[in-house]
Amino acid sequence: MIRFVVTRHHDFTLRSTRRDPAAPPIQVMTYDQLIAARRLGEMTTVFTDLDRLSSHDLELSALIHRSLAAAKVPALNDPARVKTRYALLRSLHEAGINDFNVYRVDEERLPKRYPVFVRRDSGHGQPLSGLLEDREQLIRAIDAAVEAGAPASNLLIIEYAAEPVLPGVFRKLAVSRIGDRLGPQPSVHDDQWLVKHGKLGVATEALYEEEWQFFRDMPHAEDLWRAFEIASIAYGRADFGIVGGRVQIYEINTNPTIHSDTAHASQTRQRSLHYAWQLHIDRLRDLDAKYRGTGSVDLNHARLSSHQRLRLRPIRTRRVP
């Protein structure tokens, strides 16, 4: 069995996996339940949604991660080490993987190139601006976001890095990591630079053929593996594009929604979806097979116990987008 720890209302990401009879047994636990626990059963544990946690909950979760590790129970994604959006994008730029850079608004450092856009550091919502072509537009967008109540400490300026694969068609590629294995995930196509959920009908059969070739060859595996290692993420999905022939990684999501191989009009696309899904299930099974615990782990760190004694256990975190 594999335990996934998620924030409230974000267990939907595992829905398709849990429904597949070929998948290993999965237990879902919220961070509220985790932090209130006195002991945990021994099973491989995956910490997700780390960009949605407060610093306090990150620290408490990291203590639990250490209790599991000390008991030799596999625990993926150390909450004290995982790099979330700002730290990850800055580190990838400094490592020479990403050509684009990122800046915190409150560091008062202007970008070196335009266009840029403004977005929150935490969560997975839409950007707070469109593409901004110069300093004046950027300052106006930041002022508008702060005036609307967005804390400057949670605002990022991100340099634009995308290029169309066909005139008016943009593509976002994806690769997942499960333990020590990488696997391709379906790409998304849209008619705008911000590719999130995609748009039906914009991809061509030729693009689906390219996707299948990408699935078979995994040509960018070395850069992607380095990115996961830099991020200290052992379970997650990297979303990226190819710009000027180079990988540009936009984020690594520790709680990605993985869809089953649903029907598609293109047989090539259907083959890719089926292939990706089977790899996902197989690698979860491999992860589960590496450890079979039968006991439990006591959680007795002083800071965690103090939190529990103060009767904070009934508190429930709000949903974070």
Structure token pair of residue 40: 């945990």
CB under 8 Å to 293, separation ≥6 — which residues?
Answer: 41, 42, 43, 73
Question: What's the pLDDT tens digit per position in 105-132?
Answer: 998 888 989 999 999 998 788 899 999 9
314 pLDDT exceeds 60?
no
Q: What is the reported pLDDT for 310? A: 65
| List of domains in the chain | 2-82+292-309 (3.40.50), 101-159 (3.30.1490), 170-289 (3.30.470)
Residue pair 247/240 in contact by the 8 Å Cβ criterion: yes
How far is 212 from 140, CA to CA, in rounded Å? 43
How far is 53 from 96, CA to CA, in rounded Å? 29
Please report the DSSP string for 172-198 in residue order. EEEEEEETTEEEEEEEEEESSS--SS-
For a pLDDT cut of 70, what percent of the chain falls above it?
Answer: 96
At 315, the pLDDT band (50, 70, 90 cuts) reads low
Instruction: Look at the alpha carbons of 285, 286, 287, 291 in this order and tell me if their dihedral is positive or negative.
Output: positive
- Of 55-69, 122-136, 166-180, 252-266, the range with the lowest mean pLDDT is 252-266
Of 37, 26, 24, 31, give the one whose Cα is nearest residue 9. Answer: 31
How far is 261 from 189, CA to CA, in rounded Å? 17
Q: What is the reported pLDDT for 294? A: 83
Structure token pair of residue 152: 């400057």
pTM (predicted TM-score): 0.92
Query: Helices in 218-320 by DSSP H: which ranges?
Result: 221-231, 267-289, 302-309
Is residue 204 helix, strand or coil? coil
Of 223, 241, 215, 272, give the one whose Cα is nearest residue 97. Answer: 223
53 pLDDT exceeds 60?
yes
Computed over every residue of the chain, the mean pLDDT equals 92
32 pLDDT exceeds 80?
yes
Question: What's the pLDDT tens digit per position in 231-254?
Answer: 999 999 999 999 999 999 999 999
At 62, the pLDDT band (50, 70, 90 cuts) reads very high
